[in-house]
Amino acid sequence: MARRLLQLAELPVTELKGVGDTKAGSLAKLNIRSVLDMLTYYPRRYIDRTNQAKLADLEVGEEATVLVQVVKSTSRRTRNGKSMVTTDVTDGTGRLQVTFFNQPFRERQLAAGLDVVLFGRLELFQGQRKMTNPVVDLIGDRTAKIVPVYPQSEKAGVMSWDVARLCEETLKRAGEFADPLDTSIRDRLELMDRTAAFRGIHSPESMREAAMARRRLAFDELLRVQVELVHRKREMERTAVGIAHNVGVSGGAGAGGPLVARFHECLPYELTAAQKRAIGEITEDLAKGHPMHRLLQGDVGSGKTVVAVSALLAAVQGGHQGALMAPTEVLAEQHHLGIRHLLEGFTVPDTDGGNLFGGAGLDRPLRVVLLTNRTPAADRRRILADLASGSVDIAIGTHALISEGIEFGSLGVVVIDEQHRFGVEQRAALRDKGAGEAIPDVLVMTATPIPRTAAMTVYGDLDVSVLDELPPGRTPIVTRWAKSELDEIEVWQQVRDEVAAGRQAYVVCPLIDESEKLEVRSAQETFDELSAGELSDLRVGLLHGRLPAAEKAEVMESFRRCDLDVLVATTVIEVGVDVPNATVMVILDATRFGIAQLHQLRGRVGRGSAKSWCWLVGEPTNGDGEARLEALVRSTDGFELAEVDLDLRGEGTLMGERQKGQNDLKLASLRRDREWVVKAREVAMEILDADPDLAEHELLAEEVELFLGGEDVDFLLKS
């Protein structure tokens, strides 16, 4: 009978020949406990023995991989006490001397007669051909044409060839593998079958076979993730009861219903095509009987607020309430100001008590309230009562708004600004806030663009709308990198010039990850230095996370009123702060920030029609920091930057620490395998559309449970 992976998961490695308790202990250090772990411990790379450079053909200065035999190794200490191992090697065509500094173990490791693969640069030293500290791969006495190289651990005492032998035995004993993927899908995607794939990855006959094997096994990893995510999404659509909002005629003119249409008519500008599309998608969701769970991605300044308000109004016009939650109080206050302004003069039918005369009801003003920790106790009590009775239409606050046991009369739509993840717990917290058992619709907004394929994995159970277009008439922000002290003089000169022209500027202080306290201190120092030095003639304010909330609000307010010229701040201003008169952003020590963060910070300027500047101050230090700043200078397109970011950082950071864990994606890479993420999602949908509970795909269901079951499912769903 064909072998299932679950069976191998249940067999301890000690089932394999030559694995006793000691060996099992060593393997456990590499997280190999079951035979399945062994089978899915994949080679790091391969050495193609048919295609190695010959020592005789190597040119000095050339980098190459050579397959050689050790003649002898000796060790001594250099004059300054460093360990130095010298190893003579040959490949029959020539000889080479290899020197290892500070690797004393090489003397024992590289015993005479051993076959090894070296990767390094050929040097000429005192007339002799040499390599210094090359990469060493031990391949043992393996005779295959293609030798797999496994991640090994000398500390744990597990060498590449041990792993190779154990994998070979596993393959031999396992025999044929059951394949969860139908032949038709395999053929369509040109994927090899399971048995061939496991063989091909561990003992390929050619590099091409190894690549095809990797492709199949990586696809399996991606498919399992997508099956889990799509299944969750479908489950929710099927079982969760939402509110079917009255949105009027969807699709046509006035989509979204009368109140929303009126709102759009009153805007001083035309909606962008992207805004219209997003509002259309949201409107369709709102009309449905199951709760919306949608992510709105839109670059800084793309106009997410109008989309959010449209969704809130859709709830209000059907007699429900809307809530908007921001990550900080400063932002909540700002949203409150902005949205109150947008909705000035709007009215809604007064349902309680107003309808004295029957017939057409009286109208009352649409009511928007702000609820934060700074709301005075008396106001707070009144607001809470009005939220419960339904006489407040739109509530704006921090993320705590829904979790603090606040009662809503009938919460219809929730918008969450700048939060990537809206987890299962929060969704549960919403359940008793809607009408009856219904769960309110949720729109999550983010300005951190995530490449589409990554979004499919990280946010695989959400629908995604994208604002990929900025409102017309924006002047792009000019970004420059100030690398030297001379450049810095120009930075401060420009700040003074802009202030003289009636504009304002931000200065963001160095980021200090280790402690908020240090960060505050550095902000204070920056503030002191600038106000005594370069910016001594200007009105400079300071904003950081440790200021009391009231003081924070006051500083923000003075800056907004233009009572301050320059705001020196920590990253508390990162998201959402909106002062259109500010035209210069100076980011100190910019190499310490990530791309997404720099892009967010830069987005604080360029919000009006005047030309804006962003200065990245910092000496070029490490390669990545430099590449990040160069990317920012080159591009203002958040999506392009997100791709660069993904390339620089790898996807591990995107999916969090958990990703590196044992049962996660071992082969597949969200970066390299972009097209396969899309294909996996399509296949997952195809399978689940035809077979919603995977009744006909028992093996696939079993594997999803095996690899992603239990707590491991949730790592994907946390930010």
Give the closest residue to 275 by CA, choosing from 458, 439, 468, 142: 468
Which residue stretch of 271-279, 423-431, 611-619, 673-681 sits at the interface with ligand ADP (rule: CB under 6 A)?
Answer: 271-279
Rounded to a whole number of angstroms, the minimum distance from the CB of residue 278 to ligand ADP is 11
Between 434 and 576, name the residue whose CB sits nearer to ligand ADP. Answer: 576
Taking CB within 5 to 8 Å according to partner kind, which of Mg ion, ligand ADP, none is near residue 453?
A: none
With respect to ligand ADP, which residue has the nearer C-beta, 304 or 671? 304
Which SS3 state, helix, strand or coil, does residue 356 take? coil
SS3 percent helix, strand, coil of the chain, rounded to 5, is: 45, 20, 40
Contacts of 681 (CB under 8 A, 6+ apart): 226, 230, 456, 460
Q: Are strands 321-326 and 83-90 parallel, antiparallel or unpaired?
A: unpaired
How far is 697 from 692, CA to CA, in rounded Å?
10
Min dist CB 576 to Mg ion, Å, is 5
Q: Which stretch binds ligand ADP (CB under 6 A): 269-277, 357-365, 394-402, 420-428?
A: 269-277
Q: List the interface residues with ligand ADP, window 566-585 (CB under 6 A).
A: 578
Using CB under 6 A, pick the residue from 106, 224, 294, 304 that binds ligand ADP.
304
541 binds ligand ADP (CB under 6 A): no
Sign, CA torsion 603/604/610/614: negative
CB contact at 8 A, 649 and 641: no
Q: State whether residue 19 is helix, strand or coil.
A: coil
Residue 275 interacts with, from Mg ion, ligand ADP, none (CB under 5-8 Å by kind): ligand ADP
Residues that contact Mg ion, how many (by CB under 5 A): 1
**Residue 163 contact among Mg ion, ligand ADP, none, beta carbon within 5 to 8 Å by kind:** none
Q: Can you say how many angstroms the Cα of residue 90 is from the centroid of all Cα atoms in its chain?
A: 48
- Out of 148, 180, 204, 301, the residue judged to bind ligand ADP by CB under 6 A: 301
d(CA 291, CA 581) in angstroms, rounded, equals 39
By beta-carbon proximity to Mg ion, the closer residue of 577 and 708 is 577
Amino acid identity for residue 702 in this structure: E
Nearest distance from C-beta of residue 594 to ligand ADP, angstroms:
19
Q: Which is nearer to Mg ion, 338 or 545 (CB)?
A: 338
The stretch near ligand ADP (CB under 6 A) out of 73-81, 294-302, 360-368, 494-502 is: 294-302
The least distance separating ligand ADP from the CB of residue 304, rounded to whole angstroms, comes to: 3
* Sites for Mg ion among residues 297-356 (CB under 5 A): none
Residue number of the CB closest to Mg ion reads 576
CB of 174 to ligand ADP, least distance (A): 53
The piece of 60-68, 133-141, 176-184, 266-274 that touches ligand ADP (CB under 6 A) is: 266-274
Judged by CB, which is closer to ligand ADP: 242, or 303?
A: 303
Alpha helices in 447-484 (DSSP H): 452-458
Per rule CB under 6 A, is residue 269 in the interface with ligand ADP? yes
381 contacts: CB under 8 Å, gap ≥ 6: none
CB of 712 to ligand ADP, least distance (A): 34
Nearer to ligand ADP, 302 or 526 (CB): 302
Asked whether 644 and 631 are in contact (CB, 8 A), the reply is yes
Could you tell me which of 318, 240, 231 has the C-alpha nearest to residue 283?
318
Instruction: State yes or no: residue 303 binds ligand ADP (CB under 6 A).
Output: yes
Could you give the 3-state DSSP secondary structure of residue 213? helix
Q: Which is nearer to Mg ion, 170 or 398 (CB)?
A: 398
Angle among Cα 284, 287, 292 to the nearest 5 degrees reads 75
H or E, element range at 48: strand 45-48
| CB contact at 8 A, 311 and 285 | no
Residue pair 366/347 in contact by the 8 Å Cβ criterion:
yes
Closest CA to 322 of 307, 308, 332, 340: 308
Contact 437, 431 (CB under 8 A): yes
- For ligand ADP, which residue of 302, 310, 328, 571 counts as binding (CB under 6 A)? 302
User: For residues 180 and 576, which CB has a smaller minimum distance to Mg ion in the complex?
Assistant: 576
258's CB contacts (< 8 A; 6+ apart) are 248, 317
Interface stretch with ligand ADP, choices 103-111, 210-218, 301-309, 373-381 (CB under 6 A) = 301-309
Distance CA 372, CA 574 (A): 19
Closer Cβ to ligand ADP, 326 or 587, answer by number:
326
Can residue 541 be called a binding residue for Mg ion (CB under 5 A)? no
Which residues, 6+ apart, have CB-to-CB distance to 107 below 8 Å? 73, 74, 75, 85
DSSP state of 440: P
| Count of beta carbons in the 10 Å neighbourhood of residue 260 | 24
In the complex with ligand ADP, which residue's Cβ is closer, 215 or 335? 335
Contact range with ligand ADP by CB under 6 A, out of 66-74, 205-213, 265-273, 322-330: 265-273
Any contact of residue 300 with ligand ADP (CB under 6 A)? Answer: yes
Chain positions 566 to 605 lying near Mg ion, rule: CB under 5 A, are 576
Longest Cα separation, the chain: 108
Binding residues for ligand ADP, how many (CB under 6 A)? 16
Q: Report in angstroms how near the CB of residue 330 gets to Mg ion at its nearest.
A: 12
* Encoded tokens for 446: 């983010």
User: Residue 271's binding partner, choosing from Mg ion, ligand ADP, none, with beta-carbon cut-off 5 to 8 A by kind?
Assistant: ligand ADP
Asked if residues 79 and 143 have their Cβ atoms less than 8 Å apart, the reply is no
Binding span for ligand ADP by CB under 6 A among 225-233, 267-275, 480-488, 585-593: 267-275
The whole-angstrom separation of Cα 68 and Cα 118 is 8
Q: Which residues contact 548 (CB under 8 A, 6 or more apart)?
A: none
Nearer to Mg ion, 281 or 299 (CB): 299
600: partner contacted, choices ligand ADP, Mg ion, none (Cβ within 5-8 A by kind): none
Contact string 465-504 vs ligand ADP (x = CB under 6 A): ------x---------------------------------
Contact 318, 246 (CB under 8 A): yes
Number of H helices, E strands in the chain: 24, 24
Look at residue 318 and give the partner it binds from ligand ADP, Mg ion, none, a contact being a CB closer than 5 to 8 Å depending on partner kind.
none
Instruction: Quote the least distance from Cβ 272 to ligand ADP, whole Å.
Output: 5
Binding mask 423-462 for ligand ADP (x = CB under 6 A): ------------------------x---------------
Q: Decide whether 172 or 561 has the Cβ nearer to ligand ADP.
A: 561
The two structure tokens encoding residue 161: 């060839």
Give 595's Cβ-side CA count (13 Å radius). Answer: 30
Residues in touch with Mg ion (CB under 5 A): 576
Residues in touch with ligand ADP (CB under 6 A): 269-272, 275, 298, 300-306, 447, 471, 578
